[in-house]
Amino acid sequence: MQIESVESTTLLITQIDEFDPVTVHLENYAPGKGGITIECYGKAWSSKWPAMSGRRIEQFFVDCDEHYLAGKLSSISCEVDDFEKFAKVVKQKLLKLRRENDIGKNEARELFNDIPDDFGDRLYCSMFEPLLRKVIGFEWWWEIPSKPNRDYEYLTQLITHVQTGLKTHFEMSKA
């Protein structure tokens, strides 16, 4: 067993509009190797980098794009399925089928009445599989529109605040 001492810094960033206090743990293992852990409101995001071109973790973190960092800190997708809009897509496709006389008036009315206002999630969509296949086709799931993921947007905003806090802290410590 080998035990080494690691240079570690912990910062508390407060008074951020619409955010709880943020704790940032910085670890510099060796030149160009380090890690960061960000905690806010009971959630934590963490990543390590073994090659940062000789930079310290705080320099590296500040220099990176927030989307790259979000991808390293989390597996949160930047977009999620928009099942409310999917209902509109299904209705539009059905109306197009009717206009092109690919489906009869009575059948179109029945199908239209069966379309929910919000499909909720993929499991709920599967309950409408026959309808979706008739209106869209066998691979109907490709037609589900997406929308920005609020959790991802929160994380990228948090990263931006941490970057600003790191810049401010290390500019103050140089003075």
Domain map (residue ranges) of the chain: 7-77+150-174, 80-148
Q: Tell me what pLDDT residue 172 has.
A: 75
For 74, the token pair is: 């989390």
Q: Confidence band (pLDDT; 50, 70, 90) for 170? A: confident
- What is the pLDDT at residue 150? 96
The pLDDT of residue 175 is 59
Per-residue pLDDT tens digits for 93-151: 999 999 998 999 999 999 999 999 888 899 999 999 999 999 999 999 999 999 999 99
Q: Which of 8, 141, 166, 159 is closest to 83 using CA atoms? A: 141
C-alpha separations of 121 from 38, 47, 71, 78, 125 in Å:
31, 31, 24, 17, 6
Task: Quickly list H helices, 13-137.
Answer: 57-63, 66-73, 83-99, 105-114, 122-126, 129-135
Could you give the CA distance from residue 94 to residue 100 in angstroms, rounded to a whole number? Answer: 10
Pairing mode, strands 7-13 and 79-81: unpaired
What band does 12 get if pLDDT is binned at 50, 70 and 90? very high
pLDDT given for residue 37 in this prediction: 97
